[in-house]
Every structure is written in C-alpha cells, then in structure tokens.
Chains A and B, each alone.
Chain A
Amino acid sequence: MFLKNKNIFLLIPILFLNFLFLASFGLLFIESFNSDINIYVDIVKSEVFYDSLFYGLKVAFSTIVYALLFYFILYYLLFLLKFKYSQDIKKFFFFLSIPLLIPYSFCALLLFMLFFPVGAYRDFFPFLVGTSTAVIIAYVYKTISFFLLVSFPNLLKISNDEINLHKIYSSNSFYFFWNILVRRNLKTLFVAIFVVFSYILNGYEIPSILGSSIDKMPALYVSELLGEFGVNSLNIAYATSFVYFAVTLCCIPIFFVCYIVTKKVLF
C-alpha cells in the first residue's frame, strides 16, 4: 500500500504543489512554441546570449572554486577541534548558520553602501566597482556557510570510538579527514555544488546591485528582454529563460561525471 495509515490527507499539499508546478511548466512550454519555432534558433545564434551565458558560468565557477577553498580550510579546522581537542562542535552550528540567515540582497546592499561610489569606504577597494569581484565575494560569503551546513551532520556522526581507533593506528589527522570524512561528504557536496551553481547562474538580485552594466548575467539579460517592447519580445524572453534552464539541466550529467571521476581519482 502507498501509505499504511490514515495520514493520506497529509499528502494533499505536496500533490497540489506538484500539480500546479507541472501545469505551469507545460503551459509555458506550449505557449513558447505557439508563436514561432524559429525563436529558439535565433536565440541560439545570438551573440549576446552566449556572452551572458559565459559570464554567468565564469561567475558561478569562480564562486564555487573560492567557496570550496575556504570551505575545506574551515571544515578541516572544525574537524581538528573534534579530532584533536575533543571539543563539542554542536555549539558552532549557530555561528555557521548566520550567513545563511542573512539575505543575499542584504550582503549586496551592505557591500554597495560601504565600498561603492557613494559608500563610506569607497577609497579602500576601488577594484570592486564595475567588475565581477564584488558579485563573487557576496556569493562566496553565503556559499561557504551552505557547504559547511550540508556537511556538518557527517562531522557530528563521527564517534569517539572511530577517532580513538584512528589515533591508535594512524597519527595523521589529515589522512582521516581526507580519506574518511571528505569521502563520506562527497555525494552531498556535489549536490550542494550543483544547487549553488544553478542558483548563481540564474541569480538576479546580487548581479543587479553589484554587477557591471556591460557584462550581464543570464537573469539580467532575460529581464532586459522582458522590458523591451516588441511584437515577439515576451515570447523571446520566455524562450530564452527556457534555454538557460535547459543549459542548467544539461549540467546535471556533467556534474555526475565529475563526481564519479573525482571519486575514482582522489579516493
């Protein structure tokens, strides 16, 4: 039986959401084809489309690389606290979750108000203005916390017996960290990386506050298309957003292959 007891009514909310989601997706897909199939051909041939896509990919990958770097350092420090000094790391959970509780727009506005042309510390970091650096900093700040939180349960799960066993047979803490803890986290981490990648690739608020006016992230490009007044502009915007989403979905197999290769090469 699908559900064993009378809790079947609890399924109604999620079924309702699934239905609405699928209905809206199907409706939009049909409507984007209604006007002209050549829209998709034009989009794929457009140079601006590729420019914004590559810019989005550049920002997304840079953010992931920097965030992973900081994540490994912080995660290793947390691990050392537990492994070497037997500290209760549960108390760090709240501090780790603080950046996640602060909105993206909050970070972006704070950076903007402090370091951008009318900001109080505008002379300190002039390189932030008009480049992708500020966008990457704002994203990295939130992403590190997200990576740490998704891999936090695995750190908590390590038992004292396991630690003692490794202390007896191998004195190297890094060996334990890399070969056991990181290996256990690998799957979760790749899912988290993909979620972050898709979020950044399609993010709107931070690039619109901190980004430059020349290089445009995909979401900014689509919003510009939505703002244009033309016969087909709305359909073009719909179709472009579909193509970007399709690109994101196409990245799932790539990430999966990367996961398998990483697992085979590193471990």
Chain B
Amino acid sequence: MAIAINLFPLAYMLFTQFGSIDMVKLFVATRNSLILAVVSVVLSFLFALPSAYVFVSQKSYYRYLVIIFVFFISIMPPFLISILFTNLFYFLGIKNGFLVLSFTHMLLIFPYSLALMILGFSYVPQSATYSSKLYASNFFTGFMMFYFPFMKNIFLVVAILGITISMSQYIVTLMLGTASFTTLMVQIIPYLKSADLQSANSYGIVFIVNSIFAIYILYRVNNVISKNK
C-alpha cells in the first residue's frame, strides 16, 4: 500500500482529500473554467484566422501592423492587460463580466494562435492556394475546401494551447470577473494564500485532471474530423 501511495501520490490524494471541499462550488468553478476557455478559443480563431491569412497572402505594410501589435501583447504582463481592459470596459459602460473575460482571455491567446496559424498557412502548398483562388467563390468556402485539410493539426495545437492558457489565468479572471463567476484558478490561489493546503491540493488535482481531459477531448474531436474527411 505504501509503495502504491508513493508511486501514485496524486491518485491517492484524489481519493483521500476530496471530503474537505464544497462539491457544488467545485463543479461551478470547473464548468465556468471550461466554458470560458472554449469561448475564448473560438473568439481567438475568429480574430486570428483572417489576420493570419492576410499576413501570409499579402506582402504589404499590414505585416508591420500585425507584428507590432502581437509583440506588444506578448510582452505585456497579464495583470497590466487586465488593468487596461477593466478601465476601458468600465469607461464604455460594459458590465457583462463573461463577455469582458472572454475578450481579455482571447487577447492573451491571440499572439500564440496568430503565430501558429501563420505557420499553418505557410505550410499549405501553392497548388491549394491557386485552386482556392480559382474555384472558391469566397474566403470561407475556399478555406474549408482547400486550406482546412492542411491546417487541422495546427488548429488542434491552437485549441489546446488556448484552453490551457485560458484555464491557467488567475489575475485577469479575478480582476475582470464577478463574484458569481469564479474559475478553478480563482478558487485555488486564495486557499494557497490562507495556507489551507488540503483544499488547494484538491482543487489542484481537479485542475490537472480538467486540463488532461480537455486535451484528450480535443484529440478525439480531431481524430473524428480526420476520419470523416
């Protein structure tokens, strides 16, 4: 038994330390983390995809606009981004916490998704690019017919990266979220600060299991799409 505990400490903790926490709070936090992550990843796709396409297909000054913006976003600390957008949304009178949070999380994911999508578009062969220009009536049709088959793995990586980035944000979610909308990270850190390490451990295990579960689901979705295609 002792050997098993030493070999699989996390599994042991999962069974022994769960009694001390509020299961309803845990469920709500897990659900919120996942919904927020999925919505911000979808938003990041919507923003990054057209930008990456124009970046690769158009050799113009637009490239500098993208590069400077992405560079600033990637070197800017998340807490400063959250301060910036708390202020802006307050000024604009937007009080929908979920909308504000999804937008800010999307902004944190954006540099990575854009960089990866630029990489994905540059891997698409010239023949597919020419075919999309000849046969597709608009950007969406051309993209689904000729680009998507080459880029679905990149989308998978972007989705995984996006979900993990969104789920691990603490300060942004704390500052922009409301009291009723809490995520797993927002629950974990206060337990750590108040030295309630048992509860922190329990939430931590759920966080880790959640991340692995999200990554596994995305792999399954990718496999199903690949088989259908």
Contacts and interface: CB of A to CB of B under 8 A. Distances in A.
Interface stretch (A37-45, A75-83, A116-124): A116-124
Interface of B is mostly: helix
Interface stretch (A5-13, A64-72, A166-174, A256-264): A5-13
A7 B139 contact: yes
Contacts of B193: 208
A213 to B, nearest CB: 9
Interface in A105-134: 105-106, 109-110, 112-114, 116-121
B9 interface: yes
Contacts of B130: none
B12 to A, nearest CB: 7
Interface string A3-27: 1100101111111011011011101
A195 to B, nearest CB: 6
Contacts of B189: 205, 208-209
A53 interface: no
Interface residues on A, range: 35 or more
B159 to A, nearest CB: 10
B11 to A, nearest CB: 10
Interface string B36-77: 000000000011101101100110111001100100111111
Contacts of A209: 188-189, 192
A11 B211 CA distance: 33
A110 B207 CA distance: 10
A14 B47 contact: yes
Interface in A233-261: 237-238, 241-242, 244-245, 248-249
Nearest to B112: A100
A97 interface: yes
B79 A114 contact: no
Interface stretch (B21-29, B83-91, B144-152, B221-229): B83-91
Interface in A190-238: 194-195, 198-199, 201-205, 208-209, 218-219, 222-223, 226, 237-238
B10 A7 contact: no
Interface string B78-101: 111001110110010000000000
B84 A25 contact: yes
Given A28-B87, A116-B197, A208-B189, 11 more contacts: A7-B139, A9-B50, A10-B53, A18-B65, A109-B207, A109-B208, A118-B201, A198-B75, A204-B77, A223-B79, A249-B75
12 contacts: A10-B139, A11-B50, A13-B50, A13-B51, A25-B84, A103-B168, A113-B10, A120-B9, A198-B76, A219-B79, A241-B77, A242-B80
